[in-house]
Structure 1
Amino acid sequence: MNEYLSFYEKYKISPVVQDIDNFKEHVRRRNNLYRQLGASHLIFKDKDILEIGPGGGYNALVTYSYGPKTYTLIEPSTQGYHELKNNFKNLDKNVFIFNEMLEEFKAIKQYDIIICEGLIPGLSSKEQFIKIIQSLLKPNGIFIMTTSDQVSVFFEIIRKYMANVLIKDIEDIDEKVKILVDSFSSHLDTLKGMTRSYSDWCLDNLVGDAILEHTLSINDAIELLKNNYILGISPNIFNNYSWYKQLPTNTFEYNQVFQEQMLEKWHNFIDYRFIQKDRDYKSNIELSKYCLELIKAIKNSDDKIKIVDILEKIKINLKSDIEKETLLAIEEAIEVINDSITPTKIKNMKFFNSAFGRGQAYISFVKENIDYE
């Protein structure tokens, strides 16, 4: 059982409940996502689709509206499964819903399109999970997934540490959430387009520990999916000016240009508010190393001296290549951690409150027309 599932099952939580009262706007958002991924709604029509971990199915409702031939949904969370069944109770034509883990799923065919969002980065067995997915995907099929890594969740990891301090002596889950919502609401108020409740966000990111497993970068995903061509990405950060006749015809060389660009752009994922110039890849590798050290320190220790030391290194690494507001946010976090972490101090932060990473990136792949090994 993975970190997500054990947490959801323990507290009987339905993962990722969304507000879709304005369903037309919800559809428009998903349409924009799929356009960036090179997968317009016409690609889904009359196709066999598999979605893994759809939660209550709020995004799946949009995918269903595109008219797939069959739509198979695997949701291991008990609460999520019941919510999914309820959301699809009047939309059951060619829809097959299973309450089990992917590893337990007995497929009788391969699929044209497989979707798995918001799940793989939190798993400890990412490589094996992706291998199972690849075995279920048809040659030339499309796989849509999300990545989330130590740089893109940097500010969320700091919040996780602060939350650990605030709720370390509290047993009741509802009391934990109440304290965290009260402390971090002023931070979440700065996020436009928020479709989740603050309590769900705090449960997922600050109470549970799955975010501490989020070390799957875009380049990691490319390495794991070595027999797949990149189709699209959101946010769309890559450029390729090559004429199509000059493009490599093997997946390794085709994707290499994206991997090289990613190393130069990686620091852009630390703060979603700004777009920075590319910088030397060695600086971003160092940044990644420090962010991993931060995660390890929070996992294994509550030594604030060590955590502050790592934050100081990250600040120095970014100093000449990042916006002033980002540096001020890091400095303010250091100041609060050094002093004392209280709900009032967190609530009243002036720079850190609006600093969030880019979180998860969506990436789509096309499976090469060979057997996956």
Structure 2
Amino acid sequence: MPKTHLEFYDAHGISPVHYVVGDTQQHFERRASLYRSLGLISLACRGARVLEVAVGSGQNSLYVASLMPASLTLVEPNPTAIREIRELYANTKVAHTKPSLVEMTLQDYMPEHTFDIVLCENWLGRVPHERALLRKLAGFLAPQGVMVVTTLTPTGFLPNLIRRALSVRYCDPRLPFADRTEQLVTMFAPHLATMSAMTRSATDWVQDNMMNPAYFDICLTIPDVLQEVGNGLNALGTNPSFSTDWRWFKALCGEGREFNRHMTGAYQAELHNFFDYQLEFSQPDVELNCAIETSCLVFLDTVRDYESAALAGMDLTDSFSEVIACLTNIIGQLKDFPEQVKAGLEAGLKLLSDEERDLQKVAADSPFSRLFGRETVYLSLIADVTPARFDARG
């Protein structure tokens, strides 16, 4: 049974991370807007030494390459992705810096020099060996260099964790890969179609989010990242942007800087706004936010246990009851939240409890089918102090 992203991709010969780009200009505008919110304007890349790890299809790297960095190093071990990256750069008409493609894992990679910019999206998670790799990446930064990583919010993760539980409930995890993919696309393609800016195919999304065993481990939060690399790196920006700072700039010196502490406080104060990507509302109880976050993390592990029991062919009565009880508890914690959030979660709970297990009921329009959280949060960090190099092999 594969456990990591790479093992899962290799086992099925896939690289389920493609953008449905269509218009290259629009794709580049999206990437420029993302980097702008992270403090990386295009001039920051020009003439810089850039490293990207876990490149996937390479489509995002092409935007960086078009900004004419001095060098662009791409580290990617997946043979399917490597083939796609080569094809992308061989066929593009966009003027760019030719990248250096390194066909190995980050575990084995040790560069000969540091980098001004380090990028790693949608890979590193909360398990110890991946947190160690996060520290290793930080060690590749030159002084004043910038690292961009992705984090996940447990509250934003909740709607898709419900979908993961529905995937187990309605679609046996032991089915053949192609058959299960088809059934899950039937269930969730209509949900994905409710998001007008979606750029990923339903097949890729299902395989990477509803079938990939490593999905449970990607829930690395902003406080987690700051705990791992905060001694040498300071938070710079996020997308979505939620941190405001009204402190006087003249006070931002010495111990008064505290950018990581400020970012952590802003994150905790806004946890409620990650439940639904369509909503922004006020909820001033930070302690409640933190309690709900903890409950969502418990739900994550409960869904994982439920899926593991199903894969092992065990009786699911107890593990399923735990899923229902945990989700019911979370909904109870949200009694003063907007009706749109509560109705969506309650509709998800109703689908989980439905004994008919009709795929079309899941696919049908409902408050839950339209509920997606602000799951992925990009975080940029600056190496204000030279970080210690970390070799994850040692």
Name the TM-score class by shorter chain. over 0.9
Q: Please point out which of 269, 293, 307 is paired with 1:264.
A: 269
Partner of 2:178: 174
Q: Please point out which of 256, 259, 279 is paired with 2:284.
A: 279
| Aligned counterparts of 1:105 and 1:169: Cα–Cα separation in 2 | 34
Partner of 1:53: 54
Instruction: List 4+ stretches of structure 1 deviating above 3 A.
Output: 90-94, 248-252
Q: Please point out which of 335, 338, 346 is paired with 1:323.
A: 338
Q: CA deviation at 1:204?
A: 0.5
Q: Please point out which of 298, 301, 315 is paired with 1:296.
A: 301
Q: CA deviation at 1:251?
A: 8.9
Aligned pairs for 1:9-88 within 5 A: 9-88=10-89
SS at match of 1:352: coil
| Aligned counterparts of 2:28 and 2:303: Cα–Cα separation in 1 | 38
Where does structure 2 lack aligned partners over 5 or more consecutive residues? 307-315, 390-394
Q: Please point out which of 208, 225, 228 is paired with 2:229.
A: 225
Instruction: Identify if the C-alpha distance between structure 1 residues 250 and 371 changes in structure 2 by more than 3 Å, giving closer, same or farther.
Output: farther
Partner of 2:123: 119
| Aligned counterparts of 1:241 and 1:7: Cα–Cα separation in 2 | 45
Assess if the C-alpha contact under 8 Å between 1:304 and 1:337 holds in 2.
no
Residue 279 of structure 2 aligns to which amino acid in structure 1? Answer: F
1:235 aligns with 2:258: no
| Aligned counterparts of 1:176 and 1:122: Cα–Cα separation in 2 | 27
| Aligned counterparts of 2:21 and 2:305: Cα–Cα separation in 1 | 39
Assess if the C-alpha contact under 8 Å between 1:149 and 1:214 holds in 2.
no
Instruction: Identify if the C-alpha distance between structure 1 residues 367 and 250 changes in structure 2 by more than 3 Å, giving closer, same or farther.
Output: farther
**Which deviates the most, 345-354 or 247-256?**
247-256
Partner of 2:310: none
| Aligned counterparts of 1:163 and 1:136: Cα–Cα separation in 2 | 39
Aligned residues: 372
Identity of aligned residues (%): 24
Instruction: Identify if the C-alpha distance between structure 1 residues 5 and 354 changes in structure 2 by more than 3 Å, giving closer, same or farther.
Output: same
| Aligned counterparts of 2:188 and 2:114: Cα–Cα separation in 1 | 44
Aligned pairs for 1:189-268 within 5 A: 189-226=193-230, 227-250=232-255, 253-268=258-273
Partner of 1:7: 8
Instruction: Identify if the C-alpha distance between structure 1 residues 136 and 314 changes in structure 2 by more than 3 Å, giving closer, same or farther.
Output: same
* TM-score (norm. length: structure 1): 0.95
Assess if the C-alpha contact under 8 Å between 1:2 and 1:124 holds in 2.
no
SS at match of 2:125: helix
| Aligned counterparts of 2:38 and 2:354: Cα–Cα separation in 1 | 44
1:138 aligns with 2:142: yes
Give deviations 1:199-238, integer Å, cap 9, x for gaps. 0000000011222113211122122221212211110101
Residue 34 of structure 2 aligns to which amino acid in structure 1? Answer: L
Q: CA RMSD in A?
A: 1.9
Assess if the C-alpha contact under 8 Å between 2:45 and 2:67 holds in 1.
yes
